[in-house]
Chains A and B, each alone.
Chain A
Amino acid sequence: DVKVTQSSRYLVKRTGEKVFLECVQDMDHENMFWYRQDPGLGLRLIYFSYDVKMKEKGDIPEGYSVSREKKERFSLILESASTNQTSMYLCASSFGEERTDTQYFGPGTRLTVL
């Protein structure tokens, strides 16, 4: 079974803090993704990575950065958290060059920024 884990299920931070969200997958997947999910908006892609040290912006990258130093680990960084970044953050991974393969999701991190 594919396993995608995220460092925290719930997180509460203050405005202006730097926030790190970690994601690890154990299936040697090439592709990893970070999404945020908000009511009525569905999942929106923040960043994705198709290889170590490679990254591409998704639809809403502003205010976020990512790091992929090892194949199994993909980190999302909020440089200076703001209240509008309160959301559910979901990490996913997939295997394959076509980038259309099934995505496997982690359990999510519910982040609240006060």
Chain B
Amino acid sequence: RKEVEQDPGPFNVPEGATVAFNCTYSNSASQSFFWYRQDCRKEPKLLMSVYSSGNEDGRFTAQLNRASQYISLLIRDSKLSDSATYLCVVNMGGGGFKTIFGAGTRLFVKA
């Protein structure tokens, strides 16, 4: 089983739609969580951190469910510019270093 799993998609949605991605992680000791966005042929960039209390940034909402070991990303009112691959990232933290990137979920927003 992969340490971080995402549905690769692609998700094809019309402009204005609401779309949600989930990501599951296997290690219950994981400490911090992030969503990164990667445009085609570009480098990943931080989209948002994910906190236990959930957090919202404009049209984007991220949530963490520690009991079930998954994080989610909700995008409301999708724009064409949201088309990208969304990477789930899990950090172990602590004394060692362990950051695991998911393989990504591809989103296409159509006019």
Contacts and interface: CB of A to CB of B under 8 A. Distances in A.
Given A100-B32, A100-B91, A43 B44 contact: yes
Contacts, number: 45
A100 B16 CA distance: 34
Contact of A102 (B8, B46, B97): B46
Contacts of B97: 31, 48, 50, 56, 99
B28 to A, nearest CB: 16
Interface stretch (A12-20, A64-72, A74-82, A103-111): A103-111
B103 interface: yes
A48 B42 CA distance: 21
Interface in A29-71: 31, 35, 40-45, 48, 50, 56
Nearest to A106: B43
The secondary structure that dominates the A interface is strand
A44 to B, nearest CB: 8
Interface residues of A, number: 22
B93 interface: yes
Contact of B93 (A31, A41, A99, A108): A99
A24 interface: no
Contacts of B93: 98-100
A21 interface: no
Contacts of B101: 35, 42-44
Interface of B: 4, 8, 31-32, 34, 42-46, 49, 87, 91, 93, 97, 99, 101-104
Interface of A: 31, 35, 40-45, 48, 50, 56, 90, 98-100, 102-108
